[in-house]
Structure 1
Amino acid sequence: MHKILFILVFIGQLSFAQITVMDSITKYPVSYATISFGNGNGLFADDEGNFYFTKKLYPDIDSLFISALGFKDLNISTQNIGTELLLQPQADELDEVIVGAKLNRKFKKETLKPYLDDDYYNCWLPTIESEIAVYFPKTTTKDQKLSSVQFPIALESKDWKKRKRSNSEKKKFSTLFKVNFYANNDGVPGKVLTYETIVFRATEKDGDAHQLNVEDYDIYIPENGFFVSLQVMGYANKAGKLLPNKKYKEIESKNGMVKIPTNFRPLLPFTDEIETNNTYIKRVFISGNNWLKFEKGNGFKSSLLDKDLNNYGIGLTYKTFKDD
């Protein structure tokens, strides 16, 4: 009964709190815009540019910082905020990383397998505040086009006592992730390689890894390598619609109420089987925040680093084209 009452109250607040992020010229919605609160917290708009905000939900927030690929950032006060927020398009040129592909070019298909693990204690717990990026070098001077990306995930058994059995029934989840591809800028993620918004819904039916087909995005691997990033956006319905679930838990401390980001499933397994540290982390709701390599000495407190689990082992499939 308490859960039902909480849901009804939450829905009641949301029904008068919907705000839409729109293109100032076309008036089209801006999908999956980032909404930062200025205190290190935030949330995301859905595919129709909608998000939910009221003073009842977030009484301590007085400003919103809205950002999206291809648009100028917007800083707006929450005092008497309207139902529409307009972003101005920004024409930024992409790095010259896409090579004009010739029809019927011969190629060799190559695969870099993902690093899988079903041990819960070897996993990163995703929150909407962190974006994880993994570096991949170019392996040849020949043209290489990305075909698919395999994101390792760890499934949780419904029955803890049966967690080590491969046929144990798994906990269900439906989670929306956002994917970015970055150029290598002196060893850290730089400019994006495509301005198309790429999202996917992960469920327990994916097994140990979710395979994302990126063939149609024409992503060619730059000479100095590139980064693949993963960012959890929240739970989604069966149609892949981002749900307005609560992104933070409020915990009372000596200094008052503290917002703790919610952990979303699935868990992301980390590995110690990669020789170099290729994984980087960034806090997405802090303006101008820098990418940091996920390793000891960079200010991270993590049981993963204590076990030398430094890398998220993403897999790749790509085409290496033969010379004419």
Structure 2
Amino acid sequence: MKHITFFLFITTLAFAQKQLTVLDSVTKIPVAYAAINLNNNYGIYSDANGMAIVTDTLVNIVTISSIGYADKTVTIQRKMQVVYLAPKPIQLNEVIVTQAKKIKRKELVVKPKIHKDTRAFEMSRATAQYAFLVPAAKTDAYITAITLPLFKIAFEAEGYPGVFEKIVFRTLVRVEILANNNGLPGEKLNDYEQYAVITNNINDKQFDLKLDEELPLPASGLFVQLTMLGKADENGNLSKELPYTNVDRNGDTTIKFFKWMQPNFPLTERPKGTLTFVKFPFMENSSWQTINEPALHEQKKYPDFNIGFGYTTVSYQ
């Protein structure tokens, strides 16, 4: 009977899983990394082939979205289901840069803020989005690279008593450019998207990412948005591991929460100018917030916290 019970349990799990494949309705090409909102304050992303697996048995209706497509809400009816998204032209703000002849190239490197203080660091969570401001330059300029400060050790938050460990990680992120809306991240500024696997070894203090192209810096500045899509496998593909987990409390209550994941970022005191914001896009009332406390209860006493991302800009004179 034990063997039969185990078989039935596995069978139930198999049937509970529902696979969605997201395709472009015109080209029938997979829509990579589409956001699949489970409409319960949680969500997942499709992989590079537009495929995602929904394992939550209580989820029957999902809303799927991706930049350049109309949102679509569907009822999950089958174990394997194809969803077609209709292309939708998006209105992007035009950035006009009047550039002189490229006689002299001047580079400005803003270094990231790095420290080792375990009382002040941000523990990233799957699907989280970070946006940091790149202020306007005095002359026409372009952003060419960003630098992520890394906290070299991770904390096992659920461990007792809990220990710090050096952990090698691979995380797939999406880089996008947002408008500066009076000091807050605004709408997407252009159609630029870049995907990268953020990784480290135990000695890395930062991760440097060169952008695929030189992006013009508007007179009002811009925000760089990082979306933590999830863990990446050895080939750089999005892992099938769910970004959230279910925890049973008292045997009768199930609580969901997004999984902690690296990179972890060192936190610094909030400056007057360059700020970092964070949000969780699948939450019902998702909005950009500043970071008001570090991950651990033993914390530095700052009024607000900030992540000191670095960046590189160039100007031509």
TM over 0.5: yes
Aligned to 1:245: 241
Between Structure 1 and Structure 2, which shows a larger proportion of helix residues? 1
Aligned to 2:288: 291
Aligned to 1:313: 308
Aligned to 2:152: 155
Aligned residues: 299
Over the aligned positions, Cα root-mean-square deviation in angstroms equals 3.2
- Residue 49 (structure 2) pairs with residue 51 (structure 1): no
Matches within 5 A, 1:81-96: 82-96=80-94
- Which among 130, 141, 154 is matched to residue 144 of structure 1? 141
- Residue 223 (structure 2) pairs with residue 222 (structure 1): no
- Deviations along 1:30-58, one digit per CA (max 9) or x if unpaired, are 111111111110111111211112xxx20
Contact 1:282/1:290 (CA < 8 Å) preserved in 2?
Answer: yes
Matches within 5 A, 1:1-324: 13=14, 17-53=18-54, 57-80=55-78, 82-97=80-95, 99=97, 104-140=102-138, 142-156=139-153, 170-205=166-201, 207-214=204-211, 216-253=212-249, 256-272=253-269, 274-276=271-273, 278-286=275-283, 289-295=286-292, 306-308=301-303, 310-322=305-317
Name the CA distance, whole Å, in 1 between partners of 2:82 and 2:103. Answer: 48
Normalising by structure 2, we get a TM-score of: 0.83
Contact 2:269/2:305 (CA < 8 Å) preserved in 1?
Answer: yes
| Superposition deviation, residue 295 in structure 1 | 4.3
| Superposition deviation, residue 103 in structure 1 | 6.8
One-letter identity of the residue aligned with 1:125: M
Name the CA distance, whole Å, in 1 between partners of 2:287 and 2:218. Answer: 22
- Deviations along 1:84-140, one digit per CA (max 9) or x if unpaired, are 111111111321125476774422111111111233432211112421111222131
Contact 1:122/1:309 (CA < 8 Å) preserved in 2?
Answer: no
CA pair 305-258 structure 1, distance change in 2 beyond 3 A: farther
Name the CA distance, whole Å, in 2 between partners of 1:244 and 1:93. Answer: 33
| Superposition deviation, residue 174 in structure 1 | 1.4
CA pair 173-13 structure 1, distance change in 2 beyond 3 A: farther
- Deviations along 1:124-168, one digit per CA (max 9) or x if unpaired, are 11112421111222131x11101100011112289xxxx99xxxx
- Structure 1 residue runs of 5 or longer lacking an equivalent are none
Name the CA distance, whole Å, in 2 between partners of 1:148 and 1:263. Answer: 26
Contact 2:123/2:261 (CA < 8 Å) preserved in 1?
Answer: yes
CA pair 126-98 structure 1, distance change in 2 beyond 3 A: farther
Moved more, 115-124 or 40-49: 115-124
One-letter identity of the residue aligned with 2:66: A
